[in-house]
Amino acid sequence: MSPEKDYISAYLDGEISAGWKNRIERLATEDEELRDTLDRHRAVHETLQSQSEPDFADVAERSWSIVCRRIAESSGQTIPEVEKVLNRRRKPVSVWRRKVSVPIPVATAAALAVVFLTAFVLIRLSGINRIDPSEATVAQTMDGLKVTVSAKDVEQLLEILNGQNKVQNVKIELPVKHQFQMIGQPVLLRASDGFGSFR
Amino acid sequence: MIRKVSAAFLLFAAVGTSAYAFDVEHALKLLMDKALSVHITARVTEDGKQTIWNMNLSEVTISGRAVSIRLNGSNIVVVAQFTPYQETGSQVLLVAQGQTWITSPVNKEVKYATSFKSLPINLGESVLFYPLGVNLQTEKYGNINIELEIQVVPYISDKSKEKGDTGSANQNQK
């Protein structure tokens, strides 16, 4: 068989390039054997195209009945029981129940993408409602502005205040005309003990 | 839709944390209930008897937060810190920390003295602190001495106090 004859089926199906198509048509005018081959292929092609597609449903049903009968014979069950079991398995699986296997790296990447996307959306939305500093000043002077402090109870609030480690400092200027000197050790005592100006 | 979902998420987060957040007004009221007022009277005494100069001041604080005063004289600097630690009921542990720098007019050297004293007292009870010291045996107070009288009382919020500063001072000189 010449190479051209290998392309006869493709030629008849219209699946060949223009160059090969012209070459086959030109050879068919010169080569009688090729022309006969083409005619036979064309006749088969047209015959297949003209006939309707056979209905396999009846065949499938008959095959299914045979399968059920053979399973019933081998398992000792009745044919309706076998059909019931097999029909249950033939039902299409719901999309939500269908098992989907995804590689772990892909699943991790997808989870990270969801987290970042959520964070991005939230940041953008919070940015939309952000108050200008000048507006914030006005807002703080408005009556009824609620301020909340994150603390479990007043003890924690006191700890927060104490944590600032600030000491109230008062400066006192003593009279400059007096000269002082150390007398002894510093003393802390009750006034009721009757010392000093409390005698 | 996204905004609604985000708002619901933020609301959920806010509800979750609201258990640990409370109104600052309520917090301030609780704070004021526990606030203490420290009244300090600084005196310069002569022979430990006669007051030749005095100054009164009041500071509002809370338990564990120190009130510090600094006395500047011609040859002396005294820094005294008074920290009240409120215990059960009307009991208060008063901690006094004193630092004194004093120069001698003769040789110009600087003496430094430091002290750390504590005394359990009742609210309203007056205590005396002598940063320059006294001789309790002989009751020698020196020619000129500094006497600090401290009184810790519960802070009472009234309008007259709210109008003024949390701290107040009055000075008298004879």
Report the domain count for chain A. 2
- What the block records as the tokens of B135 is 């001789």
Q: Does A171 reside within a domain?
A: no
Output the pLDDT for position B90.
Answer: 85
Which residue among A70, A105, A140 closes a domain?
A105
**Residue A95 structural domain:** 53-105
Instruction: Identify the CATH number of the domain in which residue B123 sits.
Output: 2.20.130.10
- What the block records as the tokens of B82 is 């008074």
Which residue among A105, A122, A145 closes a domain?
A105
Radius of gyration of chain A (CA): 49
B116–A contact, CB cutoff 8 A: no
Output the pLDDT for position B41.
Answer: 94
Q: B interface mutation test: which of A118, A178, A198 has the most B CBs within 10 A? A: A178
Output the pLDDT for position A40.
Answer: 87
Q: Is 60 exceeded by the pLDDT of residue B3?
A: no
Q: Does B30 reside within a domain?
A: no
Q: Does A84 reside within a domain?
A: yes
Residues A82 and A97 in one domain: yes
Residues A64 and A101 in one domain: yes
Calpha distance B142→B134 (Å, rounded): 8
Cβ–Cβ of A149/B53 closer than 8 Å?
A: no
| Dihedral over Cα of B14, B18, B21, B23: its sign | positive
**Does residue A107 or residue B150 have the better pLDDT?**
B150
Q: A interface mutation test: which of B65, B79, B91, B108 has the most A CBs within 10 A? A: B65
Report the domain count for chain B. 1
Residues A70 and A45 in one domain: no
Strands B76-86 and B50-62: unpaired
Query: What pLDDT band is residue B150 in, cutting at 50, 70 and 90?
Result: very high
Output the pLDDT for position A186.
Answer: 87
Cβ–Cβ of B167/A170 closer than 8 Å?
A: yes
Which tens digit of pLDDT belongs to each residue from A114-153?
988 888 888 766 654 444 443 333 334 344 444 455 555 5
Q: Does B55 reside within a domain?
A: yes
Which residue among A105, A131, A149 closes a domain?
A105
Q: Give the torsion through C-alpha atoms of B25, B31, B36, B37, to 10 deg.
A: -20
Distance from CA of A108 to the nearest CA of B (A): 23
Closest-approach residue (CA) in chain A for B131: A186
Output the pLDDT for position B50.
Answer: 84
Q: Does B115 reside within a domain?
A: yes
Q: B interface mutation test: which of A187, A189, A192, A199 has the most B CBs within 10 A? A: A187
Of B135, B126, B125, B129, nearest to B117 by C-alpha is B129
Q: Rounded mean pLDDT of chain B?
A: 78
Q: Does B20 reside within a domain?
A: no
Query: What pLDDT band is residue B139 in, cutting at 50, 70 and 90?
Result: low
Contact B139, B107 (CB under 8 A): no
Range B105-129 average pLDDT: 86
Q: Does B54 reside within a domain?
A: yes
Cβ–Cβ of B20/A161 closer than 8 Å?
A: no
CB-based contacts of A102, cutoff 8 Å, min separation 6: A110
Cβ–Cβ of B48/A169 closer than 8 Å?
A: no
Window 37-66 of B, Cβ < 8 Å to A: 40, 42-45, 48-53, 55, 57, 59, 61-66
Quote the pTM value: 0.48
**Does residue A56 or residue B136 have the better pLDDT?**
A56
Cβ–Cβ of B76/A186 closer than 8 Å?
A: no
Cβ–Cβ of A196/B62 closer than 8 Å?
A: no
Output the pLDDT for position A187.
Answer: 87
| Dihedral over Cα of A119, A125, A127, A130: its sign | negative
Output the pLDDT for position B122.
Answer: 92
Range B139-143 average pLDDT: 63
Which tens digit of pLDDT belongs to each residue from A185-197?
888 888 887 665 5
Q: Does B100 reside within a domain?
A: yes
Distance from CA of B48 to the nearest CA of A (A): 5
Q: A interface mutation test: which of B17, B20, B95, B146 has the most A CBs within 10 A? A: B20
Q: Does B159 reside within a domain?
A: yes
**Does residue B49 or residue B75 have the better pLDDT?**
B75
Closest-approach residue (CA) in chain B for A117: B2
Largest CA distance in chain A: 148
Between the alpha carbon of residue B18 and those of residues A144, A157, B101, the distances in Å are 19, 16, 51
Which tens digit of pLDDT belongs to each residue from B14-55?
544 444 455 677 777 777 777 899 999 999 988 777 888 999
Q: Does A92 reside within a domain?
A: yes
Q: Is 70 exceeded by the pLDDT of residue B2?
A: no
Quote the strand ranges of B14-167, DSSP E.
21-23, 35-46, 50-62, 67-72, 76-86, 91-103, 110-122, 126-130, 144-154
Which residues of chain A have a pLDDT value below 50?
A: 128-147
Output the pLDDT for position B6.
Answer: 54
Output the pLDDT for position B40.
Answer: 94
Calpha distance A70→B164 (Å, rounded): 104
Q: Is 80 exceeded by the pLDDT of residue B85?
A: yes
Output the pLDDT for position A195.
Answer: 65
Q: Does B134 reside within a domain?
A: yes
**Residue B41 structural domain:** 36-173
Cβ–Cβ of A174/B72 closer than 8 Å?
A: yes
Q: Does A10 reside within a domain?
A: yes
Distance from CA of A105 to the nearest CA of B (A): 28
Cβ–Cβ of A171/B65 closer than 8 Å?
A: no
